[in-house]
Amino acid sequence: MPPRSELVEFLFRDPWPGRVGPVRAIHPDDEMLRRDMWNPELAQVEYFHTGMLAARTLAPILEWQQERCSRPLRVLDFAAGYGRVTRFLFSLFPDTDLRVAELEPAAVAFQREALGLEGFESAVHPEQIDAPELQFDVVIVTSLFSHLPASTFGTWLTTIAGLLAPGGVLAFSVLDESVLPDAFSMPETGLFFEPASELEHRVDVQQYGRAWVTEGFVRACLEDALPSSHTPCRVPRALWHYQDLWLASAEEDLRGLAVEIDGGPDGRISAVSVGSGGEVFIEGWAVHPIEPQRGVRVEVWLGDQRVASVRPATPRPDVARHFGSSVSSSEDWLAGWQVRIEPPASDGAKGSLRSVALVKAVDAKGLEQVLHLGSLESLLADQRVREMEAEMSAYRQRLGELEGESRALQVKLGEAEHRAEVVEQSGFGRLRRRWMDLKRWLLPG
């Protein structure tokens, strides 16, 4: 378990709306904790914050279903891992019969011991699942279908949908073709699969890699897995502003529920600098990607004091393109912002570079997105990392250009050598050799 973190304490400073406090234990094998980050505290902050955001996005599904159920809900978090999201769902809905399914036995055991949740082990292949004799009112599947090849995508969907009770709701996430990297092309099948995974040391990447899908592909799979007279609902980029969330039920019309799913605002810090007088300038973007006209403000806190609050006012058409928007006017995406913070005091005083700094975007509904939680010192360090990454990107681009030039020169050299060989084998080549022999005989030495 990671050591107690001041930054995590700060993250939980604002009361979490759950009826019980979320468990903060993290299993040492939990791969959702990014151990490659330069600051282990920031890794913990990201772990808990992303779990919070996902639970907040999924909460309306459980609320909607609970209104229609006269008993405590039975909910299954399928492919739950070590509980990054589950712990926050349980915090929000402690009276729910919440269970987990996961391939790793250690993860099921951890959730049983740390969260008190029952669960069962999943399997590598869907036909091998030995599920309990239970049906669930809600089945949640985050970040599984974003890893499956076409050969098992539909089979897994059918198997998991079979765990639903009558009137049950299936909620699962996928990577849509809109976030497919430019280097890849979507095939006609509607699913692009890359056999690569950060878990390749313990999984078969042919069965668990990275997958992007079209809307048509998902709808076709759902028609086979969960036949219904109601159209399944797609909520674009609902999870972490990256993964689409799909809602499906054999009996229920979920269109009213779909409009309640809200991922809140998104944003980034793009530059940090220090002025000649020691003041700190921070700039970036913040917007609600689904409703860019919804009011958003950016707040900066140093410790318990809010030192800046600003509404984005600069057009950012690049942000619109990032979210796949076809807006014709950048005025619809007034997402750019900049704040100025007075010169921090010397170390040890309130407002020093080592003080805890929180930068967050807050929308008109009160939904929040943390853009930075750390010290001002770490914010400046992040800027240096961004600069180094930009330099490395430029170097890689130039290296690619040089490699391309080298390949072109090699092709030209090969063509020249081929022409020379053709000349040598031709009558002209033989005549040239005889002339050279005669020249050496006439002009010896």
Do 57 and 92 fall within a single domain? yes
Q: What confidence tens digit (pLDDT) does each residue in 19-56 have?
A: 788 999 999 999 999 876 667 888 899 999 999 999 99
Do 240 and 189 fall within a single domain? yes
Do 135 and 204 fall within a single domain? yes
Of residues 84 and 424, more confidently modeled: 84
What crossing angle do the helices spanning 376-425 and 427-442 adopt, rounded to 10°? Answer: 80
CATH at residue 111: 3.40.50.150
Tokens of 46: 């990201």
Do 235 and 294 fall within a single domain? no
Do 220 and 307 fall within a single domain? no
d(CA 372, CA 358): 6
pLDDT at residue 133 in the model: 84
Q: Which of 378, 405, 424 is the C-terminal boundary of a domain?
A: 378
Q: What is the largest CA-CA distance in the chain?
A: 113
Q: What confidence tens digit (pLDDT) does each residue in 193-239 have?
A: 999 887 766 778 899 999 999 999 999 999 999 988 899 999 999 99
pLDDT at residue 37 in the model: 66
Do 50 and 149 fall within a single domain? yes
Residue 15 lies in a domain: yes
Do 178 and 80 fall within a single domain? yes
> Which of 21-30, 78-87, 396-405 is the most confident on average?
78-87
Do 189 and 292 fall within a single domain? no
| pLDDT surpassing 70 at residue 347 | no
Do 23 and 45 fall within a single domain? yes
Q: Which of 205, 225, 258 is the C-terminal boundary of a domain?
A: 258
Domain count of the fold of the chain: 2
Residue 189 lies in a domain: yes
Query: Residue 327 — pLDDT band, cuts 50, 70, 90?
Result: low
Q: Which of 258, 292, 315 is the C-terminal boundary of a domain?
A: 258
Q: What is the rounded average pLDDT for all residues in the chain?
A: 88
Please state the rounded mean pLDDT for residues 318-342: 81
Q: DSSP letter string over 209-244?
A: SEEEE-HHHHHHHHHHHS--SSPPEEEEEEETTTEE
pLDDT at residue 345 in the model: 66
| pLDDT surpassing 50 at residue 372 | yes
Of residues 247 and 291, more confidently modeled: 247
CATH at residue 345: 2.60.40
Tokens of 356: 């805890």
User: Is 213:176 a contact under the CB 8 Å cutoff?
Assistant: yes
Do 165 and 271 fall within a single domain? no
pLDDT at residue 3 in the model: 59
pLDDT at residue 179 in the model: 95
Q: Which residues contact 246 (CB under 8 A, 6 or more apart)?
A: 170, 171, 172, 173, 174, 218, 222, 232, 233, 234, 235
Collapsing DSSP to helix, strand or coil, 258 comes out as helix
Query: Residue 349 — pLDDT band, cuts 50, 70, 90?
Result: very low
Tell me which residue has tokens 């180094």. Answer: 388
DSSP state of 24: -
Residue 394 lies in a domain: no
Q: What confidence tens digit (pLDDT) does each residue in 131-167 have?
A: 888 899 999 999 999 999 999 999 999 999 999 999 9
> Which structural domain, as residue segments, surrounds residue 289?
266-378
pLDDT at residue 444 in the model: 65
Q: What confidence tens digit (pLDDT) does each residue in 251-260 have?
A: 999 999 999 9
